[in-house]
Amino acid sequence: MRNLKITLLLIFLVFSVSAQNKTDSIPKTTIKTSLKKGFFSDKDLSVIDSLVIETQYKSPLTDNINYVIKGLEAKEQPSVKIPTNLLKERLKHLDNTSPFFIEYNPILENVINSYLKYRKKYYPSLMAKAEYYFPMFEKYLDQFDVPLEMKYLAIVESALDPRARSRVGARGLWQFMYLTGKQYKLNVSSYVDERQDPIKATIAACKYLSDLYDIFGDWDLALAAYNSGPGNVSKAIKRSGGYQNYWNIRQYLPTETAGYVPAFYATLYIFKYAKEHGLAPENPPIYHFATDTIQVKKTVSFDQITEITGIETEMLQFLNPEYKLDIIPFVKGKNYAVTVPRNATVKFLAKEKELYSLVEEDNAKREKPLPKYLELNQRIRYKVRSGDYLGRIAKKFGVRVSQIKKWNRLRSTNLKIGQRLTIFPKRL
């Protein structure tokens, strides 16, 4: 029974939208002990992995973001290197001040040196984005008892681009696949993709990371599972003979994950020792605390907001990346809002009536279908069902019995089951 519970926990992680009920009856020590004993059979792991493949996160790093440098750990040695003894000392300090097992090894050393050589020019702009996003991340990481260092995971996942999209369809700062996003209540519509909503996606990522920690009881393994799925990490633990240190199971993990965790450690190191390496952030476009949100009362575009309020469209795009078409829809019960710079809030509210007047004016200018085409487009073919009579059908479509008889050249009100009627429903 215990074995069944643990298997169901991993499977449930893929499909459940609730993080609260997954581990109430399964202590972390039980999970870790079972993993160490090699509990999972190859059949169990195959089932878990098949579920993960369908719904799990897919990292975009080797697709279009290219944050992970493939092959450098084995093929190239940067000419300019951090003295090994100094690096060991710094990594030891990071290990002592974080819940991760950050230990020196030649692989990590080479990744750090490679990033400083090949990626150094990109860090000032990346650090400027971090000035905006990191305080937001830290708020929710702290709320869900996830290590604050996990904020660097969003750099590895998306280079802090909330509209980042991988080749396989993962989106947002935390790179959620569609189905996994749905499981963590990130909804997608034609106008809105909540995987690109910085706050909602961060909350979902915190829940997911918490779920992974509940399974493995180790943040390094949770990090690896975020990329490759809990099934692959469990399989690697089993094949290693029960080891549960990331570096001891690394050779049994998928190739992408083997480079993924060192990329996270390297990023953590570079941000912590940015000053020592001559790195400083560019001026951030805005700080998160200097923004405000306003609920919209009509469907409105970024261009219309810019025209009335003067807020630059680029700033609206930066602050509202969840709106796929640069349009904020008005949908009853959804409470969609626009995020604006705080110093523009008063002006926005003062010009709100003018903004919505522009919306109405623009809508009035849209070409309308001519009546004759509208009528044709509204024609339907209705199939008579058992219990139907002309009065009921007329009421259903808001028309008169005499109209139905005229449209269909009926001499009487008698109908046959399966008979087809042409109807022009009343325009609403």
- Condensed to tens digits (0 to 9), the pLDDT of residues 137-168 reads 999 999 999 999 999 999 999 999 999 998 88
| Domain definitions of the chain by residue range | 2-153+204-277, 288-365, 371-423
Select the more confidently predicted residue: 409 or 145: 145
CATH of region 371-423, choose from 3.10.350.10, 3.20.20.70, 3.40.50.150, 3.40.50.300 = 3.10.350.10
Q: What is the pLDDT of residue 390?
A: 85
**One-letter identity of residue 261:** V
Res. 299: pLDDT tops 90: yes
Residue 20 binned pLDDT confidence (cut-offs 50, 70, 90) = very low
Res. 37: pLDDT tops 90: no
Contact between residue 415 and residue 386 where contact means Cβ atoms under 8 Å apart: no
- Mean pLDDT across the chain, nearest whole number? 82
Among 34-38, 254-258, 303-307, 395-399, the range of highest mean pLDDT: 303-307
CA atoms within 13 A on the CB side of 39: 16
Burial class (CB in 10 A: 0-12, 13-18, 19+), 401: middle
Cross-strand pairs, 340: 292
Residue 377 binned pLDDT confidence (cut-offs 50, 70, 90) = low
Q: What is the pLDDT of residue 362?
A: 87
What average pLDDT score do residues 258-265 get? 90
Res. 118: pLDDT tops 70: yes
Res. 36: pLDDT tops 70: no
Q: Please give the share of the chain, as a percent, with pLDDT higher than 70.
A: 78
Least confidently predicted of 32-41, 267-276, 362-371, 409-418? 32-41
Res. 267: pLDDT tops 90: yes
CB atoms within 10 A of CB 190: 9
What own/partner pairs with CB < 8 Å and gap ≥ 24 does 3-8 have?
3/34, 3/39, 6/30, 6/31, 6/34, 6/39, 7/40, 7/44, 7/48
Res. 101: pLDDT tops 80: yes
Least confidently predicted of 9-23, 135-149, 188-202? 9-23
Least confidently predicted of 313-322, 366-375, 407-416? 366-375
Contact between residue 171 and residue 196 where contact means Cβ atoms under 8 Å apart: yes
pTM for the complete prediction?
0.72
Mark 194-216 as b/e (b = at least 16 C-beta within 10 Å): bbbbbbbbbbbbbbbbbbbbbbb
